[in-house]
Amino acid sequence: MMVLFCREKVSSLLPLWRCKVKSNSYYYIERKVRFPTFSQAWKFMNEIYEQNELINHHCKYTNDYTKVKIKMYTHTAKGVTEKDITLATIIDKTLQKYDHKVIGDT
């Protein structure tokens, strides 16, 4: 059985991620970043894809030229679990290798 993390715990573990609610049914975490070039954004997504495969957990990526939006939750648990925390931490560490800027809600 997967344990759901409460929003407060997620916020304390992942301060760079936003907790959001989908139609009052489940919550998820989201992060938006902008890279200097499209090729850097794509390189980042490819690197994260490999990590997704290694831990067998995938998130939703949206790419708009230099912008990347990452949305994630555990579908079977309908919320954020340890798998999401693990992947978000990997993403945060990977982002440290790239020139990027955080994007707020737009």
Q: Residues 97, 76: contact at Cβ < 8 Å?
A: no
Number of domains in the chain: 1
- Whole-model pTM: value is 0.89
Which residues fall within 8 angstroms of residue 15, CB to CB, at 6 or more apart?
none
CA 72/CA 80 separation, integer angstroms: 8
pLDDT at 105: 66
Tens of pLDDT, residues 30-52: 999 999 999 999 999 999 999 98
pLDDT at 2 over 80: no
Number of other CB atoms surrounding residue 46 within 10 Å: 9
Q: Which domain holds residue 14?
A: 7-102
Range from 8-12, 23-27, 49-53, 67-71 carrying the lowest mean pLDDT? 23-27
Number of other CB atoms surrounding residue 9 within 10 Å: 13
2 in a structural domain: no
Q: In terms of pLDDT, which residue wins out, 78 or 98?
A: 98
1 in a structural domain: no
Q: What is the mean pLDDT of residues 25-29?
A: 88
CA 101/CA 103 separation, integer angstroms: 6
55 in a structural domain: yes
63 in a structural domain: yes
CATH assignment of the domain containing 35:
3.30.1360.20
pLDDT at 78: 87
67 in a structural domain: yes
pLDDT at 24 over 90: no
